[in-house]
Amino acid sequence: MSENLKGRDYITTQEWTLDELEEILEMSRFLKEKRKMGLPHNLLTDKTIFLLFFDKSTRTRNSFEAGITQLGGHAHFIDSETSQIAHGESAKDTGIILSRYGEGIAIRHDLVPGEGNAYMREVAKWADVPVINMQCDIDHPCQTIADLMTIREKFGKNLKGLKMAVSWAYTPSYAKPLSVPQGLITLMPRFGIDVVLAHPPEFRLMPEQVKIAKKNAAAAGTKFETTDSMEDAFRGADIVYPKSWGILELFGEPQKALEIGKKYKNWICDEKKMQLTHKDSIYMHCLPADRGNEVTDKVIDGSHSVIYDEAENRLHTCKAIMALTM
């Protein structure tokens, strides 16, 4: 196992080189094969990671908890609301103290633009162990690296020329973070994928992340385009990733964002839109998907869907990140 990534924070994919991200993907493949064969891979025996959550979770929490167990270590789940953080304990104190108790700190803090990523970086500034981003307001680097692994399993390692549609989709439930679409548009062009971002005018992403996506595409010789038409984005696509997110300026007033969203109930991934894509296209979603609003049952349960392979790969990529950094 490579030692050159030991101790590294994993906060955004943008801070990791292509070669370093390739190490994660290769380690993920290796660990997936080990698990499939039933072979032990106790790479982190007796090591502890602290999982600090400011938001609810299913796949992220369980992929990390199961993953560290399979690597021979142990996870401590920390709910921010039932810890001293709720009483104002500083990121500095949290980072220093947890560093003395274990070998890694992972944080999910994604619901308030301007807060999550900054908090993680403050913890990382004081921590003596790697800090892993389990989703912040800017990026979800554990999800997008699993997405990339899944895409490679379906299309091969050379992704040059593939078209990916990253699209907003309607939901009435809650104003979801911007981090998944932002993570996708900044990561995928670096690996040869042409990306089209589609959303209604009100549902723009953070301007800085869009700027990074454009720069990454230019550097990689790929395309990054935007449109206000879900149909245009889907037309000729090899990969579609339709999901909801909130309005950047209205995260403090989520009901207003949900009211605006009602104008766009037709932004649903259905069979008609999938017919615009290539015959062998794949449908992806980080889950949970809002069935009947973001996507129809026929699509999410149909032949194009790879959501369960994608969700499984969260386990293998989380394990790889921990194994390489801790």
Residue-range definition of the domain harbouring residue 132? 13-140+314-325
Residues 6 or more apart in contact with residue 178 via CB below 8 angstroms: 113, 137, 138, 205, 206, 209, 245, 246, 248
| 115 plus 26 within the same structural domain | yes
Residue 4: inside a domain: no
| 155 plus 300 within the same structural domain | yes
| 81 plus 163 within the same structural domain | no
Alpha-carbon span 106 to 64, nearest angstrom: 9
Looking at every residue in the chain, the average pLDDT score rounds to 97
| 163 plus 203 within the same structural domain | yes
Neighbours of 192 (CB within 10 A): 15
Contact of 213 with 187, CB cutoff 8 Å: no
Which DSSP letter does residue 2 get? -
Residue 256: inside a domain: yes
The pLDDT, as a whole number, for residue 3 is: 82
Compute φ and ψ for 242, nearest 5 degrees.
-90, 125
Neighbours of 107 (CB within 10 A): 28
Alpha-carbon span 200 to 183, nearest angstrom: 19
Q: Count of domains in the chain?
A: 2
Which CATH number belongs to the domain containing residue 103 in this structure?
Answer: 3.40.50.1370
Kindly tell me the sign of the dihedral angle through the C-alpha atoms of 31, 28, 147, 132.
positive
pLDDT in tens, 115-133: 999 999 999 999 999 999 9
Q: Does pLDDT of 1 surpass 80?
A: no
pLDDT in tens, 169-193: 999 998 899 999 999 999 999 999 9
Q: Does pLDDT of 294 surpass 80?
A: yes
Give me the DSSP letters along 140-177. Answer: -HHHHHHHHHHHHHHH-S--TT-EEEEEE---SS----
The pLDDT, as a whole number, for residue 143 is: 98
pLDDT in tens, 48-102: 999 999 999 999 999 999 999 999 999 999 999 999 999 999 999 999 999 999 9
Angle at 195 between CA 192 and CA 199, to 5 degrees: 165
pLDDT in tens, 218-254: 999 999 999 999 999 999 999 999 999 999 999 999 9
Which DSSP letter does residue 295 get? B
Alpha-carbon span 108 to 55, nearest angstrom: 7
Which pair of structure tokens corresponds to residue 148?
Answer: 């990339």
The more confidently predicted of residues 1 and 303 is: 303
The pLDDT, as a whole number, for residue 184 is: 99
